[in-house]
Amino acid sequence: MSVAKIDDRGCPTMGGPTAMHGAGADPSAFVIEDDGVAHLDLLVRGARCAGCIGKIEGGVNAIPGVVSSALNLSTGKLSVDWAMGGTDPALITRTVSDLGYQVSPYDPGEAQSERDHQGRFLLLCMAVSGFAAMNIMLFSVSVWAGFSGEMQDSTRSLFHWVSALIALPAAAFAGQPFFRPAFASLRKAKANMDVPISLAVLLALAVSLYETMVGGQDTYFDAAVMLLFFLLIGRWLDHRLRGQTRLAARELLALQATSANLLQSDGAVKAVQAREIEPGDMLILWPGDRAPVDGLIVEGASDVDMALVSGESAPELVGAGQSIRAGMVNLTDKLVLRASARTEDSLLADLTRLVEAGETARGRFVKLADKAAQAYVPIVHSLAALSFAGWLLAGAGMHQAVLIAAAVLIITCPCALGLAAPAVQIVAVGRLFKRGVLVKAGDALERLAIVDTVLLDKTGTLTQGKPYLLNAAQIAPEDLQLAALLARSSRHPLSRAIADLAGPGPVAPDAKETPGCGVEGVIDGVRVRLGRADWAGAPKGEDETSGLWLVIEGKAPLHFAFEDALRPDAAQLVAGLKARGLAVQMLSGDREIPAKAAAAQAGIDAISFGLTPQEKIRRVEALVAEGKQVLMIGDGLNDAPALAAANVSISPASAADASQAAADMVLQSAALVPVLAAIDLSKAARGRILQNFLLAAGYNVLAVPLAVFGMVTPMIAAIAMSASSIVVTLNALRPFLRKNTL
């Protein structure tokens, strides 16, 4: 939706007209005041490099009155402080959006709770267990080195006590991320991966503490804590992978945290938060504003971007007495609106709820690692129990049997399993980012690898999503420049197409736009009109309804014909998908003729047209119910629920905010072919994860018999455990595909 230009690195550049929505919104309702200092959190989209940080912070700091501004590039949050009354908050958003970035206010309540507490806690646990593991190892290595008798029993006992002193508090703290879920799942009478982990750690600590107290030889303090350390690395990687998903959820919320211009009874206009709007409130909607709630137009007439409902970018003319829905964008003229619903009852909120419902359903996807755990946990537990019983039956003492059962649990503990998937996924996500695909959830790669059906949206996905001048060759450059003088004053998509083609330049000073008709002005003493055929005064002909007419007084009318062109690599994408054995279908909200024409050009045989957003979801759900693994690629706000309902979804860089939030992956450039790279890489990653599971299983096949037959010493346990984790991590880092295959 953004009109700002994007450079080859994916950063917005200056010069384009300001982003359509949000630019006019007044964020003053979201300012927090504290002790004379005003604070505002803004969500900035599109910032991704040093130049962006420099431009945004530099631009905002240059506003008189601003004390400080800090942009967090990972979350896109821009925090600005200024002395109360020192500056107008609307100036800050305008500054950022004039730089070419989309900006919207953060809801203060959300901004407070958004801090990543869990990530910090995992990092702390990792640090504590790492510290403990290294220091205990210091003592363990000394004990093992003195095994041949150089070390006196009293020294060994001292070392064991010191180890216990470090290990017990460290495990009590760093084990929390495992103990809590394990306890919770046991209460539900289910066993997840956390149960054997907790059991192994607790049993190893208990056995070691007992050994220490009776002056025994072998303790497993080092193994227990090192286990936690390796597993926490896996957890932390996994958490970072899911960070992008949390970000998406916040962006959806930010979309709703818009402000509105409330027209008070005394005629004054006040900026309020959208969620404070009550039915019956009068609102002013300036050109470029997004309607915050559903409402009825009481005054004015304007072209309105209906993309939210139909997915098509051709605007519609609305006037007094007609109703518009939340999320529609006003394009040409001021509208006065009477709110007919609160934000939570409006269309935008309905879409958000549909998206959330889809995401909940997707949460039921069983990850490869969880599948492995389901098979693994019962085997491990019965093995440990069997060796305990076996040794008791064979005449061993209680003490020895418990020691061996603990060794089995430690040796089989799924360190390598815990690292196998996240290590591969974090590498794959990094590779894909370099190829222009932002992956928002690690398990999205697993879901993409098994896709068999691909659904494509037409407008904005297969096509450019904006009109393109067909007969540019037949229009003289001076006529184009003349038309651009008028077109630059308008937000209508066809005017924008002419203005983009003509490049930057002046605007006719007295250009006046008539909603639904066109723009007129007097240029060099001659009246010029650019607009619909019947309004501009062009002769009635076959193509009077399509395109624009430029009518210069005293000259022959000139026709500008437009078409929404296919993206250059759309056919290549479809051919690539078919070559990979995937079924390809097109779902379009557009009419039959343009839909069929686009499908024929792209090489798609199965098409549906004239679909509403609800029908699109039903199509997706029907296919999912048939057992198909559906990939949905779409861009419009109306596609967002369908994107969330599909097994996995991708949206192009130009997609609406809500669609990018609902999609699992977002393309970072205008090209579509990175989708093929994503599919190939996800398959390679899935293969690598399975390979890692095999490595972990192979290690167990070797080590478990040793443990069951009581041949594992603490030293062997420590070496085997670190070796398997390192092997799995190195395997993940190995190049995925030969360089020339993608």
> Which residues are annotated as catalytic?
457
Nearest approach in angstroms of CB 652 to other proteins is 22
Nearer to other proteins, 55 or 496 (CB): 55
What is the C-alpha separation between 480 and 474, in angstroms, rounded?
Answer: 10
Give me Rg for the CA atoms of the chain: 32
Report the 10 Å Cβ neighbour count for 621: 16
Nearer to other proteins, 50 or 625 (CB): 50
What is the C-alpha separation between 335 and 298, in angstroms, rounded?
Answer: 8
Q: ∠ CA 737-738-742 to the nearest 5 degrees?
A: 75
Q: Cα 29 to the chain's mean position, in Å?
A: 27
Question: Backbone dihedral region of 547: left (phi > 0), alpha (psi from -120 to 50 degrees) or beta?
Answer: left
What is the C-alpha separation between 314 and 304, in angstroms, rounded?
Answer: 9
Pair 312, 590: CB distance under 8 Å: yes
Nearest approach in angstroms of CB 299 to other proteins is 45
DSSP letter for 182, please: H
Nearer to other proteins, 50 or 579 (CB): 50
Alpha helices in 19-49, H assignment, sequence order: none
Q: Cα 164 to the chain's mean position, in Å?
A: 44
Nearer to other proteins, 124 or 702 (CB): 124
Q: Cα 444 to the chain's mean position, in Å?
A: 11
Nearest approach in angstroms of CB 436 to other proteins is 17
Nearest approach in angstroms of CB 155 to other proteins is 6
- The CA-based diameter of the chain, rounded to the nearest angstrom, is 113
Pair 562, 467: CB distance under 8 Å: yes
Nearest approach in angstroms of CB 431 to other proteins is 17
Nearer to other proteins, 247 or 507 (CB): 247
Nearer to other proteins, 71 or 372 (CB): 71
Pair 426, 718: CB distance under 8 Å: no
Nearer to other proteins, 134 or 697 (CB): 134
- Total count of residues recorded for the chain: 742
Nearest approach in angstroms of CB 74 to other proteins is 4
Nearest approach in angstroms of CB 125 to other proteins is 11
Nearest approach in angstroms of CB 168 to other proteins is 14
What is the C-alpha separation between 268 and 319, in angstroms, rounded?
Answer: 23
What is the C-alpha separation between 550 and 255, in angstroms, rounded?
Answer: 38
Give residues in contact with other proteins (CB under 8 A).
9, 49-51, 53-55, 71-75, 116, 120, 123-124, 127-128, 131, 134-135, 138, 155, 158, 162, 166
What is the C-alpha separation between 361 and 620, in angstroms, rounded?
Answer: 13
Which of 412, 361, 404, 365 has the alpha carbon at shortest distance from 386?
Answer: 404
Which amino acid appears at position 468 of this protein?
Y
What is the C-alpha separation between 722 and 353, in angstroms, rounded?
Answer: 45
Stretch (H or E) spanning 27: none
Cβ density class 432-448: b for 16+ within 10 Å, e for less: beebbbbbbbbbbbbbb
Nearer to other proteins, 124 or 394 (CB): 124
